[in-house]
């Protein structure tokens, strides 16, 4: 079961591309920009299809509204495009970032971007063990290191460095699984929760993430967007198993997310201060998604509690989306596609805020400004 949270990091993920305005290079010069996407099921575009794992989305009706595949499942955990897909389109990217494990992730395709995200993945290597296989953040960066060397071979060292530093956006949306599929599952996580206080666990997450982001910086990444963890206590799965009313959310997961988010904001400020030439943009997914859930009718939705595709309980929130699931007819009226992930309609609204939104949701600049930034 893929409890990847949705929203969680909603992030953002988003990632996108950086349309760096110059098309005058000969080598790779026609490349407008690239997205290098790290994260979990919110932005996985098919890596888990190539892993022996219990967390997969390459089954119907996932992808039913994804036009490039003619409505066939691709491994995206939603009915259509992910936030990363939508942001990339809006920023002028010609192609979606190719999943690293896809055999097509070779040659010039990698200059448009590569997606390393994996359903079930987390900041900690133990996270998601329930799914047997998934790519943790450390492994995702190991894979980018391989891509980085390939870009050197394609462009030569000097142009490769310029491509990575100026024309590429690094999107990181991760952290939800560290709570949903690690800390909140004490037995499966080998008692980590018994031995660690919430603050101790959060400090561990931040310490690991600091090292991971620093490692990307050392590999020449300079433009980052980092999504915080969304209101994971409000996903249909959590509301169903806790038998809540429609307007209620589970307190503990949300409290943990807020503890982590507070420390993440401080970490991002420190990274901006301490890593010369880098820009870290903070995506406040928690407040963005909470706004959508609280005021769903204002945005044209009819429910922010019930999964469009799922089974079990009041909110169809227990059994993940698959061929035998109950499927709603008005997919664009549901905030949630399945027990854990937003619908394409919700992803469109989230992406819009990341691209052009208010500083309370995206700071110190939005993604169009980050794309156009020339260090």
Cβ 292 vs Cβ 10: under 8 Å: no
Round to whole Å and give the CA distance between 375 and 303.
43
The H or E element spanning position 293 is: helix 285-294
Q: Which residue has the tokens 């037995």?
A: 187
The first and second tokens of residue 50, run together, are 């190539």
Round to whole Å and give the CA distance between 141 and 370.
22
Round to whole Å and give the CA distance between 100 and 116.
6
Helix axes 344-356, 83-90, angle to 10 degrees: 50
Nearest to 76 by CA among 348, 343, 369: 343
Cβ 63 vs Cβ 46: under 8 Å: no
DSSP E strands in the chain: the ranges are: 34-39, 98-99, 113-115, 168-173, 223-227, 279-283, 303-307, 309-310, 326-327, 334-336, 362-363
Round to whole Å and give the CA distance between 227 and 175.
9
Report, as residue numbers or ranges, the catalytic residues: 41, 338, 341
- Residue 134 contacts by C-beta under 8 Å, 6 or more apart in sequence? 48, 51, 53, 55, 118, 119, 120, 121, 127, 128
- Whether the bond into 364 is cis, omega within 30 of 0: yes
Round to whole Å and give the CA distance between 210 and 64.
37
- Residue 294 contacts by C-beta under 8 Å, 6 or more apart in sequence? 304
């Amino acid at each position: 079961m893929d409890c990847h949270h949705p929203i969680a990091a909603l992030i953002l993920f988003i990632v996108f591309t950086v349309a760096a305005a110059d098309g005058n290079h000969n080598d790779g010069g026609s490349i407008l920009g690239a997205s290098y996407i790290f994260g979990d099921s919110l932005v996985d575009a098919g890596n888990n299809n190539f892993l022996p794992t219990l967390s997969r989305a390459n089954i119907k009706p996932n992808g039913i509204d994804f036009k490039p595949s003619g409505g066939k499942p691709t491994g995206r955990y939603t009915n259509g495009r992910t936030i990363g897909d939508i942001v990339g389109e809006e920023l002028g990217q010609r192609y979606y970032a190719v999943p690293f494990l896809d055999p097509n992730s070779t040659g010039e395709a990698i200059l448009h971007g590569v997606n390393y995200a994996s359903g079930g993945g987390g900041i900690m290597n133990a996270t998601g063990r329930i799914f047997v296989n998934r790519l943790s953040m450390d492994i995702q960066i190991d894979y980018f290191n391989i891509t980085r060397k390939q870009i050197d071979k394609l462009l030569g060292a000097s142009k490769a460095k310029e491509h990575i530093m100026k024309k590429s956006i690094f999107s990181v949306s991760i952290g939800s699984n560290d709570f949903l599929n690690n800390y909140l599952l004490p037995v499966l996580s080998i008692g980590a929760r018994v031995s660690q206080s919430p603050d101790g666990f959060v400090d561990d997450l931040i310490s690991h993430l600091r090292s991971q982001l620093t490692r990307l910086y050392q590999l020449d990444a300079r433009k980052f967007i980092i999504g915080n963890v969304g209101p994971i206590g409000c996903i249909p799965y959590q509301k169903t198993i806790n038998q809540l009313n429609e307007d209620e959310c589970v307190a503990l997961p949300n409290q943990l997310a807020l503890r982590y988010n507070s420390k993440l904001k401080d970490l991002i400020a420190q990274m901006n201060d301490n890593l010369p030439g880098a820009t870290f943009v903070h995506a406040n997914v928690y407040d963005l998604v909470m706004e959508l859930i609280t005021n769903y009718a204002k945005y044209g939705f009819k429910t922010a509690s019930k999964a469009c595709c799922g089974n079990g309980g009041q909110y169809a929130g227990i059994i993940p989306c698959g061929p035998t699931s109950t499927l709603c007819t008005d997919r664009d009226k549901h905030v949630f596609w399945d027990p854990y992930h937003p619908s394409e309609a919700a992803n469109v609204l989230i992406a819009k805020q990341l691209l052009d939104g208010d500083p309370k949701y995206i700071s110190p600049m939005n993604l169009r400004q980050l794309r156009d930034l020339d260090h």
